[in-house]
Structure formats: C-alpha cells, structure tokens
Structure 1
C-alpha cells in the first residue's frame, strides 16, 4: 500500500483520501511540499536524485520534498521532508504555491525556503549528489542538466518572486 494523500481539486480543496499511487495513475491532483535550501552565502542547493528514485531518477532539482500526508500542513510536510532527505532540521518559511500539471500527475506544490546552517546528511536512496550554486551558476546549468520539470518551474517562480535576491 502506498502512502495516503489528500486528493484535491484545481483550487486545492480536499475531495477525499486516496493512495498516492492511485492519484498518479488516475491523474488526480494531490499536494507536494517542497523546500528550496540556501546556505549562509545565499547559494542555492541543487541535488541529483538517485538512479533508483521512483520519480525522475537521475534528474537534478532545486527542491527537496514529497507528498503531504493526510491531515498534514504544507509547512509540516516540508520540515519533515527536509529532515528525512537532507538530515537537516531548519525552520521552513512558506513562499508560494502553484498548480502544476506537466509532471507525473497534477499536483499543488507548496514551495518553502530554508537556510541550512548545519552539515547536510543526504539520504542516499533519495539523493546521489548535491552542490551549492550561486544564482548565476544555476541559471547556466538549468538548461544544460536534466532537471525535474516541476523543480525547473519552481526555480523560475522563486527567482522571479524576488526570493533570489
């Protein structure tokens, strides 16, 4: 049995509880909480997913995160995922959310920001590589490396929102 998630509509209103695999198979929207991490120098964390990752293996991303559990807020899920994937406990700050239909299935992304001040301890089942890039470096590689589609869109929105400065 896969994890249970809230099935939501195009306005992010809950319609019911379903298994995440079912939501993806049936193309039903659900919620994903993500975090864009910065370090003290304001560089942005870029990760490359493990080759065994169930979604977008080997792709790069500027977000770490995962499904929002039933009854969990975006913020709670973002903090939990940050700890699970990077071994970091840091305050997450909600930045924006957006509806995205071009990935595996339609999702609402709740995008957060965190400043990582402690050493990272990535889960090797999730993350194969990571590096800290300046905004200029990230803008150069985003069209050269293969990025998760939703992460590419979140990066664009994040930098346009003024969060990048």
Structure 2
C-alpha cells in the first residue's frame, strides 16, 4: 500500500489526504521534511542513495528525509527518516521551509538541522555511503557529483540563513 500524505496548497494549508504516488503523479503539493546534519566540528553529513531505490538511485544527498505522513510535522518526518535511514534518533529543529519545484513533483520542503556526534547503523537499502565534508569540500563536490535536485538549493538556503540562527541542540 502506498503511503498517505497531506495534499496542501500554495500556502501550505491542508486540502486533504492523498496517496504519495497520486501526489507525485498529479503534481499535487505535499510536504517533505529533511534534516541537514552537522558534526561537532561543523562538517556536513552527505550520503549516497542506494542503487535499488526508485527515486534518484546512486545520487548524493545533503538532507536526510522524506514525505511527511498524515498529521506529521516537518520535524517529525525528518527525525523519523533520520532514524530509519541512518539509525540515529535526534532532536531536530525546523529552520525554514520553501516551495521546491525540483525533483519528481513540486512539494513544500521543511529543512531542519541537528548536530550529531556519530552515525548509527545506516540502512543499506537506503544509504550506500555516507561521510562528513567541510563546507569547502561540499561546495566542490556539489559541482562534481550527481546530487538530488533539492540538495543545491537546500545548501544555499541553509548557508544564507544559518548565520542568523541559534545553534541546533546537540544530541549526545
């Protein structure tokens, strides 16, 4: 059975419940929550999606996340996906959201962040590789490696607003 999501409007107001498959096929707006993970040294977590995934296999990604389920906040969706994909349970903070037109269909993207001391056991069905990159290294690989459509915009917006934000809570 396909997962259920909330179809939302251009102002992120709920219109009803639909299947994620229908939302993507029809181009209906829905919500996706992602978390940008940093370590204590300020490096960014980057991962490569597994080969067998139906959406963007073998692409690199800055944010860990997925579609928000019915009644689920951006933070809850991002935290759930972090646990499922990387084996880490952490408190995440919503930093901003924007209407993303990249990817398979348009969606509201809620970008959260968290400081992680380490990574748990990554799910090999989701994550083929992960590593920590400095801001400079990430800028370089964003130009060379194949990233998911949202990654570049997430990074740019994150850096633009990060200087004005309090530090995320550290998960020890």
TM-score range, shorter chain: over 0.9
Contact 1:61–1:152 (Cα < 8 Å) also in 2: no
Task: Give the TM-score normalised by the residue count of structure 2.
Answer: 0.92
Are 1:74 and 2:74 an aligned pair?
yes
Task: Give the TM-score normalised by the residue count of structure 1.
Answer: 0.96
Unaligned runs of 5+ in 2: 168-172
State the distance in 2 between where 1:133 and 1:83 align. 21
Hey, which bits of structure 1, 4+ residues long, moved more than 2 A? 162-165
Contact 2:34–2:109 (Cα < 8 Å) also in 1: yes
Shift of 1:62: 0.5
Shift of 1:101: 1.1
Q: Which residue of 1 aligns with 2:46?
A: 46
Q: Which residue of 2 aligns with 1:141?
A: 141
Are 1:85 and 2:85 an aligned pair?
yes
Alignment map for 1:5-154 (pairs within 5 Å) = 5-154=5-154
Residues 118, 132 of structure 1: alpha-carbon distance in 2 compared, 3 angstrom cutoff: closer
Unaligned runs of 5+ in 1: none
Shift of 1:153: 0.8
Secondary structure of 1:42's aligned partner? coil
Shift of 1:162: 2.6
Q: String of CA shifts for 1:46-73, please: whole Å, max 9, x gaps.
A: 0000111121111001000011000111
Task: Quote the RMSD (CA, aligned, Å).
Answer: 1.4
Contact 2:32–2:108 (Cα < 8 Å) also in 1: yes
Secondary structure of 1:161's aligned partner? helix
Contact 2:86–2:119 (Cα < 8 Å) also in 1: no
Q: String of CA shifts for 1:88-129, please: whole Å, max 9, x gaps.
A: 011101110000112100110110001111333111111100
Shift of 1:75: 1.2
Contact 2:39–2:118 (Cα < 8 Å) also in 1: no
